[in-house]
Amino acid sequence: MRGDARRLLADRRAAAGLAILAFAVLAALLAPLLAGDPIAQREIVATRFLPPFATDPLGAFHLLGTDRLGRDVWARLVFGARVSLGVGMLAVLLSVVIGVAVGAAAGFWRGWLGTALLGLTDFALALPRVVLLLLLASLWRPSAGLVILVLGLTGWMPIARLVYAEVRALAARPFVESAVGLGVPGPRILVRHILPNALTPVIVAAALGLGNAILLEAGLSFLGLGVQPPTPSWGNLIASGRDTLVNAPWVAAAPGMALVMVVVAATLLGDAVRDRLDPAANA
């Protein structure tokens, strides 16, 4: 395992991806230390619309400038990272749990249960995800919890398909057949013998899904259907910068760049892990 990790880090994509993600997570965790109190009300008129690297009349330095209420963009960004990364990770966790359960059950108990679960997966895959998100966000009151639930419930299908294929292939292997021959009960075979061997592609799908979930959370919040202001999330930060695009473009630019960096990092990490897991792709 340790050798695997070292070899993975030798891949520049994995190293860069992990470094960026670690930086973002650390910044989110240490937000109060890095940025102080983001809602400390000071003089609004003198501190609003300051460009990046400006020092306001009260002597405070603003790395990324300030918005129309004189709030420090860097502080909003790192506090928004808590929401955006947290929502993204929990949503992916939920879709991994559902996807593994559905995929494993469909691959292990074929017959009517498997057929029904596969049919459900294909149906859910064919739905336009954003349209469904909008529909759900319109029927219930928007909140971070709803976004996690909805993203999780609409993101499990690729993972289910991966796990299904993996479990099916593993179920035909000799070590599983011998477990069956020894009279080990089915659920125990699935959980103890098959699933641990099927989980590696799930890591790839989870890394790629994380980027997607963070993007979608931001999209929903951008449209005002996700995390509600004044709680900052990268999506509603972009939305708040939209109104001041002309006199303060940095307000919308900064959270967007943070978003792109984190999604690129997750994608690079996913690519690197996939190449490492799939020897055929290395040939």
Q: Is 221 exposed, middle or buried (0-12, 13-18, 19+ CB in 10 A)?
A: buried
Tell me: does residue 260 bind other proteins (CB under 8 A): yes
Query: Please, how many CA atoms are within 13 Å of residue 191, restricted to the half-sphere of its CB?
Result: 6
Q: What track of x and - describes contact with other proteins for positions 167 through 206 (by CB under 8 A)?
A: ----------------------------------------
Q: Of 215, 227, 269, 272, which lies in the binding site for other proteins, with binding defined by CB under 8 A? A: 215
Our CB check for other proteins shows the closer of 114 and 256 to be 256
Tell me: does residue 222 bind other proteins (CB under 8 A): yes
Q: How far apart are CA 143 and CA 137, in angstroms?
A: 9
Tell me: does residue 264 bind other proteins (CB under 8 A): yes
Q: Of 36, 51, 128, 229, which lies in the binding site for other proteins, with binding defined by CB under 8 A? A: 128
Q: How far apart are CA 89 and CA 91, in angstroms?
A: 5
Question: How does DSSP classify residue 66?
Answer: B
Q: Which residue's entry shows tokens 């995800």?
A: 129
In the complex, minimum distance from the CB of residue 263 to other proteins, in angstroms, rounded to a whole number? 4
Tokens of 63: 């790395």
Tell me: does residue 268 bind other proteins (CB under 8 A): yes
Cα torsion angle, 161, 136, 133, 273, sign: negative
Tokens of 123: 């149906």
Tell me: does residue 19 bind other proteins (CB under 8 A): no
Ranges assigned E (strand) in the chain: 54-55, 61-62
Tell me: does residue 23 bind other proteins (CB under 8 A): no
Our CB check for other proteins shows the closer of 113 and 135 to be 135
Tokens of 151: 């993203």
**Span near other proteins by CB under 8 A; candidates 28-36, 87-95, 169-177, 248-256:** 248-256
Tell me: does residue 246 bind other proteins (CB under 8 A): yes
**Span near other proteins by CB under 8 A; candidates 25-33, 77-85, 91-99, 222-230:** 222-230
Residues 131-150 that bind other proteins (CB under 8 A): 131-132, 134-140
Distances (CA, A) of 220 to 85, 91, 189: 14, 14, 41
**What is the residue type of 129?**
R
Contact 46, 220 (CB under 8 A): no
Tokens of 38: 């983001």
Binding site for other proteins (CB under 8 A): 122-123, 125-132, 134-140, 211, 215, 218-219, 222-225, 238, 241-242, 245-246, 249, 252-253, 256, 259-260, 263-264, 267-268, 271, 280-281, 283
